[in-house]
Amino acid sequence: MFTGTNVPFRPGEHPGCGNLITFAQFLFIAIEGFIFEANFGRKRPAIPLRFYLTMVAMFFTVSVVNNYALNLNIAMPLHMIFRSGSLIASMVLGIVILKKRYSVSKYSSIALVSAGIFTCTFMSAKQVSSDSSRSEDEDGISAFLWWLLGIAALTFALLMSARMGLFQETLYERFGKHSKEALFYNHALPLPGFFLLAPDIYRHAVLFNQSEPFQVPVLGLNLPILWFYLIMNIITQYPFCGGCHGGDPP
């Protein structure tokens, strides 16, 4: 299943624009699903809505927490690498909750991924600590504490995403696999929740409007370049939306 925060989006321009990006992606997928999957609301869901509401609460929480992690002194490379630990979280929760067992090769693969993530996180911590030690005021210590909070946020989102994957897996076992339906409801039902983030979304929409103009090839339309990047991000990522959160390690 797709989440807007899985894809880096010009972090050097506006690192806090994740909520705007996520909202735009949710809206696009919801509109497409309403037309082609829900048949303009005439098709009843195969999985009861109460189960989707539970999944949506987890899905929305994961998306928002991942977005705000970028505002907590977390560098984009660390953000991307840390999120690759979803396989680790899925395996751990699979063992604890579903009592699963995996092959030695899978345990070895997860160990290697874990070592890579730990190394990257450790080096990032050293960099933040080095920057903090060079600061002569409390700003350096504050930056390191915000970084620790960012790591905690990423860890929480990772575990919540893995738990959602297991929940989705149990639903598919009970009601059958309906990935397109799940994709639609998981993006349509959270849309009202973005009202809570409206000030942040509006602020970044204004910043996007102020970016340099760009002429769209072939069409000849002039758009602020950040809006063009956002449109291309949505279009190019949509075919990959069928992936799932969590799930078993490969």
Q: pLDDT digits over 171-220, tens only?
A: 988 999 888 898 899 899 989 989 988 999 999 999 999 889 888 888 77
Average pLDDT over residues 87-102: 83
Inside any domain, residue 122: yes
pTM over the 0.75 mark: no
pLDDT attached to residue 137: 53
Residue 7's pLDDT band (cuts 50, 70, 90): very low
pLDDT tens-digit map of 97-111: 878 888 888 888 888
Residue 102 located in a structural domain: yes
Q: Which residues contact 207 (CB under 8 A, 6 or more apart)?
A: 14, 17, 226
pLDDT at 120 over 70: yes
Quickly state the pLDDT bin for 244 (edges 50, 70, 90): very low
Has residue 248 been placed in a domain? Answer: no
pLDDT of residue 5: 40
158 domain-assigned: yes
**241, pLDDT greater than 80:** no
Q: Is residue 16 part of a domain?
A: yes
In whole angstroms, give the CA distance from residue 2 to residue 62: 12
Quick one: average pLDDT of 81-108? 82
Position 48 in a domain: yes
Of residues 240, 250, 229, 239, the one with CA closest to residue 21: 229
Determine the structural domain holding residue 138 and report its residue range.
Answer: 4-240
Backbone angles phi, psi at 17, to 5 degrees: -85, 10
124 located within any domain = yes
Report the domain count for the chain: 1
In a domain, 245, yes or no: no
